[in-house]
Structure 1
Amino acid sequence: MSEVKVPEMGESIMEGTIAKWHVKEGDRVNQGDVLAELETDKVNIEISAEESGVIEQLLSKEGETVQVGETIGRIGSGKGSAAVSAPAATPASVPVESKPAAVQAAPTPAVEAASSDSSSSYAASPGARKLARERGIDLGQVQSQDPMGRIRQEDIQAHGTKPAAAPSAAVPSVQKAQPAVSAATADPTKPAERRKMSRRRVTIANRLVEAQRTAAMLTTFNEVDMTAILDLRKRRKDAFKEKHDIGLGFMSFFTRAVIGALKAFPLLNAEIQGDEIVVKQYYDIGIAVSAKEGLVVPVVRDADRLSFAGIEKQIADLAGKARSNSLALSDLQGGTFTITNGGVFGSLLSTPILNAPQVGILGMHKIQLRPVAIDETRMENRPMMYVALSYDHRIVDGSEAVRFLVTLKNLLEDPEALLLEV
């Protein structure tokens, strides 16, 4: 008999949710067959059979949260009555599946429920989670000393000096949440639909709120005359497509311009770790992509070493993976700066939120014809785009942010300069 376990998924991912079982008890499977789909904070992962046999037990249900290394099923040989007798022969598996019910019967159900519900929102090591469960500590009440926000065993131990404080703090938070929900759905005569947030949507929500809570975030704006880029694309797009088998879009221009501006203002390509500033001397640019499950930010690695065609191909490849839900963790980790384009949805102006721990994000917007003063006597309608730079004011001064955008504007309005600056 072999156990089906939740695989290691990267340092920052310690748990996931069973999104779908592709098999049921009694099914015969071959080695390599996909057994289940696991939804994590960042990507969906397929769990495959490590050997051939018959599914004897499925220990976790769809929608349940499971930890890395946890056994979620068993595969047996399927000979004789093994498949039938296996559940009775392994009573130890019952408490694992019924643990939530057992917790609810405990003297402090609200506290334990709060801990269980909130645990998926916090990055913590397996040892820290185990220690928190043993001590009845809500991870949401633990102060992390890790610059990346991960909760470790020493954080639990430090918090454990006041074990009674977590329950008293957790109970009101759960109770206070109820009236808001009830008030929002108080009228049963009016139509409404209740949907459970996906793990990824919960993670996105928590990360955005955390970014606003921890960073001194400001946004500065400028506008770019897109005439030169549009003219260049019009003249070169057919030859570019024929030579490189990829379209010449706007993102390659903006990526190259961002890199040029980052080289001039390197603190926007940095992050804060404790009381230190880590200035990165490489340019892994995150490109925000809208997918079915929500916004994801795959990363174009070493973008400064890529040609226009190389950037366009990588972006197209990553966007395709995002929309087919086939991104790997390596596609999402380690960006140094992010670009997001709300203009594709018609946004004229917005203030993007930082993608922590990054300290800068550029927002692109809709290109719109607007009257522009060319000189003291002449006006022209020009294709203009507002651009927005949100930045962490803790290490980036306002003057640097403004000059970053001015540099970006100048590079974009003179596209040939991009070949020299990057």
Structure 2
Amino acid sequence: MAEIIVPELAESITEGTIAQWLKKPGDTIEKGEFIVELETDKVNVEVISEEAGVVSELLFGEGDTVQVGEVIAIVGAGSGTSAAQPQAEEVKVEEKAPDIPKAENAPITKVETTSDTSRPIASPAARKMAREKGIDLNEVSPVDPMGRVRVQDVSAHGSKQIAEPAKIVSAPTDDGRTTREKMSRRRQTIASRLLEVKQSTAMLTTFNEIDMTNVMALRSRKKDKFFEDNQVRLGFMSFFTKAVVAALKKYPYVNSQLDGEYIVKNNFFDIGIAVSTEGGLVVPIVRDADRKNFAEIEGDIGELAKKARDNKLALSDMTGGSFTITNGGVFGSLMSTPILNGTQVGILGMHTIQKRPIAVGSEIQIRPMMYVALSYDHRVIDGKDSVGFLKMVKELLENPEDLMLES
């Protein structure tokens, strides 16, 4: 008999929610095979069985909260890998569902060991999206020749259907007028942390606006050659990241955090880039942004954004940032007051670019303008530093050649 225990997840994570059992009592399981998917505050984690055998008992249900180190299932001795039971092994092989082959030329029909032939093979992110959208994975046609359903397959299947509300098992609709939907664990965590930040910091926001004419012109001139040389596209985020790093060097208190009676100034520049996903906002981090050029920053941002969309971010991708940039402009936001991220004392909010009449010398011209906002903890940062920081970001972005030359 073997116990399935919630593994150590990360230093700051002590519990998770059972998102989905991948095996049920009576199912045969191999050593190293996934048995349950856990949803944590930041990422989804699949837990494996350390022993082969038969699942004898599940001690918690889907949706239950479990603690690190807690026993959540029991695997008992049984058929599956024993050489003394060739007949059981033969029957089991016939029941196997398609999955990625164990060897390059192995038959696809002899891969995953499970007694449930109706259960499709899918990534955790695909299962999560299917649950949220009320999609039956058996109806999804995977692109993967090995038959594994991925997020892209679920998304493509959903776009072919008429939009329907997700099925809510635990909270049915009330007389057709309202639908009660339980918040996911990640959404609950986001909500509690945002509320905690609002209640535990002296947060203020200062605003400025940036004339994006020169950035847009420079990007237009350089983007084709940039892509040819680096195989990544030149976007606005690398300009903002480099401008933020330069401003943080001049105003180090903006790149700090409060620890009791101490202000801890960070001598590194790990910049969080907020990314919107199906499960909520996540903030993966571009490490050592001060040491990277535009191409390296754009490459990191692209890779992290893809991992976020595919629900493949690791905890290490989202911990230890010193400052955050969030871009509400991608959704059309003209102005907002971003909320601080965790223990950081500053966050920059970008917004949509909008053509507006402004005074240029003695003339009125139509220019592409962007409002920017710096939210900061007034306990650490005074108005002089906050305004100076944002003004420097503005000046650097209005003279973007300087940023590229410095890189």
Please state which band the TM-score falls in when normalised by the shorter chain: 0.7 to 0.9
For each residue in 1:22-69, what CA deviation from the matched residue of structure 2 results, as whole angstroms up to 9, or x when unmatched? 111111122221111100111111101222222111111110100001
Write the distance in 2 (CA, Å) between the matches of 1:213 and 1:418. Answer: 37
| Equivalence for 2:178 | 192
Among 267, 275, 279, which residue is 1:293 paired with?
279
Equivalent residue letter for 2:20: K
* 1:261 matches 2:247: yes
3-state DSSP of counterpart to 1:224: strand
* 1:363 matches 2:349: yes
| Contact 2:57–2:73 under 8 Å retained in 1 | yes
**1:419 offset after TM fit, Å?**
3.6
* 1:379 matches 2:364: yes
Structure 2 portions without partners, runs of 5+: 81-170
| Equivalence for 1:221 | 207
TM-score of the superposed pair, with normalisation by structure 2 = 0.75
| Equivalence for 1:404 | 389
| Contact 2:13–2:41 under 8 Å retained in 1 | yes
Write the distance in 1 (CA, Å) between the matches of 2:337 and 2:249. Answer: 23
**1:5 offset after TM fit, Å?**
0.7
**1:259 offset after TM fit, Å?**
0.2
For each residue in 1:302-361, what CA deviation from the matched residue of structure 2 results, as whole angstroms up to 9, or x when unmatched? 111111111111111111111111111101111100000000000000000001200000
3-state DSSP of counterpart to 1:358: coil
* 1:250 matches 2:236: yes
Equivalent residue letter for 1:259: V
| Equivalence for 1:23 | 23
For each residue in 1:146-176, what CA deviation from the matched residue of structure 2 results, as whole angstroms up to 9, or x when unmatched? xxxxxxxxxxxxxxxxxxxxxxxxxxxxxxx
Write the distance in 1 (CA, Å) between the matches of 2:346 and 2:375. Answer: 6
Write the distance in 1 (CA, Å) between the matches of 2:61 and 2:270. Answer: 38
Instruction: Sort the Cα spacing of 1:395 and 1:51 in 2 relative to 1 into closer, same or farther, 3 A.
Output: same
| Contact 2:53–2:79 under 8 Å retained in 1 | no
3-state DSSP of counterpart to 1:26: coil
| Equivalence for 1:415 | 400
Instruction: Sort the Cα spacing of 1:342 and 1:49 in 2 relative to 1 into closer, same or farther, 3 A.
Output: same
Write the distance in 1 (CA, Å) between the matches of 2:260 and 2:241. Answer: 29
| Equivalence for 2:122 | none
* 1:388 matches 2:373: yes
| Equivalence for 2:300 | 314
| Equivalence for 1:65 | 65
**1:372 offset after TM fit, Å?**
1.6
| Contact 2:28–2:79 under 8 Å retained in 1 | no
Aligned length: 316
| Equivalence for 1:75 | 75
Instruction: Sort the Cα spacing of 1:375 and 1:65 in 2 relative to 1 into closer, same or farther, 3 A.
Output: same
Structure 1 portions without partners, runs of 5+: 81-184
Instruction: Sort the Cα spacing of 1:33 and 1:365 in 2 relative to 1 into closer, same or farther, 3 A.
Output: same
Identity of counterpart residues, as a percentage? Answer: 59
Equivalent residue letter for 1:195: E
Equivalent residue letter for 1:193: T
| Contact 1:260–1:421 under 8 Å retained in 2 | no
List structure 1 segments (4+ residues) > 4 angstroms apart after TM superposition: 187-190
| Contact 2:257–2:265 under 8 Å retained in 1 | yes
3-state DSSP of counterpart to 2:358: strand
Instruction: Sort the Cα spacing of 1:421 and 1:216 in 2 relative to 1 into closer, same or farther, 3 A.
Output: farther
Write the distance in 1 (CA, Å) between the matches of 2:178 and 2:237. Answer: 39
| Equivalence for 2:325 | 339
Write the distance in 1 (CA, Å) between the matches of 2:32 and 2:217. Answer: 52
Write the distance in 2 (CA, Å) between the matches of 1:354 and 1:296. Answer: 13
Q: Which moved more, 1:366-375 or 1:273-282?
A: 366-375
Instruction: Sort the Cα spacing of 1:69 and 1:188 in 2 relative to 1 into closer, same or farther, 3 A.
Output: closer
3-state DSSP of counterpart to 1:344: helix
| Equivalence for 2:224 | 238
Equivalent residue letter for 1:10: A
| Equivalence for 1:326 | 312
Among 250, 262, 266, which residue is 1:276 paired with?
262
